Structure 1
């Protein structure tokens, strides 16, 4: 399955999730420019999952519509690459890895098998937009949308912190 989705300027409002035929197959509610919380809805309009930073935390939690935790995304420090780990509750650990200058990432399970890959497809001065290519049944595509949006939120936080430190 191939999905396209994006952030919005100021990270607030509703944005569409599109398939490869540019048909809407869901939406993301970017709750607020101040909290980075999101809700992910399927094609039928039903909420499937949500993502958020817990209070004073740098980890991104993904929960189902009933607030049961699906997993936690954390940044892993690495030299010359971008790494994140998503620990899915009872379903294993998954690594999101991209090279330092690349806008492309692969998602691997614990055995090193690639389950999906995604690419940031936006321009330099526009909000984040992504293309997800996913064929595995180990993780749901909409859950991965929440994970990728969480990775992007973590990167924005890191960038803000770095920029604030240079003033």
Structure 2
């Protein structure tokens, strides 16, 4: 099974590589700025493939294709003792994302409860988020990377709100 690796920067801005198991660069993750949580997933030639950002005044993460056509929406779900989110792909249906409390492992399942993807945070608690992704779904890797970064952004936003 092949994995992809990508990460956030400490100040959530700039560009980071997306690599495979062999360390080969397969694309780039452009983190817009530390004041704006949007991201762009680029191919090896630095051309935009997919983007993700929060909808205005909302906690919904919108995943869009190259020309701003919406691919799907990620939103948190209320759950006790675990992280639960729902990604609704306009082409492939709904995917549930769950992680037990205090875990760095996330399982994404389709509507038939089959594992569509698995990702985990591989960075330390105080380091910027770095992830390992394994994709078994019909979603493109770039779309799934935008979803994972959306999960990361939603969790950061929830932790920030809880701290105030």
Alpha-carbon distance in 2 for matches of 1:128, 1:35: 16
- 3-state SS of paired residue (1:8): coil
Aligned residue number for residue 4 of structure 1: 5
Corresponding position: 1:140 with 2:140: yes
Q: Deviations over 1:38-77 (max 9, x none)?
A: 1101223221100001111100000001100000000011
**Unmatched tracts of structure 2, length 5 or more:** none
Give me the TM-score of the superposition, normalised by structure 2: 0.96
Moved over 4 A (4+): none
Alpha-carbon distance in 1 for matches of 2:70, 2:156: 23
Please tell me the root mean square deviation across aligned C-alpha atoms, in Å.
0.9
- 3-state SS of paired residue (2:159): helix
**Unmatched tracts of structure 1, length 5 or more:** none
Aligned residue number for residue 54 of structure 2: 53
Contact kept in structure 1, 2:115 and 2:136, CA below 8 Å: no
Alpha-carbon distance in 2 for matches of 1:32, 1:77: 28
Alpha-carbon distance in 2 for matches of 1:157, 1:80: 18
Q: Deviations over 1:104-143 (max 9, x none)?
A: 011100110001100100011100000001133x111110
Deviation of 1:32 after TM superposition, in Å, equals 1.0
Deviation of 1:91 after TM superposition, in Å, equals 1.7
Alpha-carbon distance in 2 for matches of 1:90, 1:126: 35
Deviation of 1:90 after TM superposition, in Å, equals 3.2
- 3-state SS of paired residue (1:36): strand
Alpha-carbon distance in 1 for matches of 2:58, 2:14: 23
Aligned residue number for residue 121 of structure 1: 122
Equivalent runs, 1:20-31 vs 2, <5 Å? 20-31=21-32
Give me the TM-score of the superposition, normalised by structure 1: 0.95
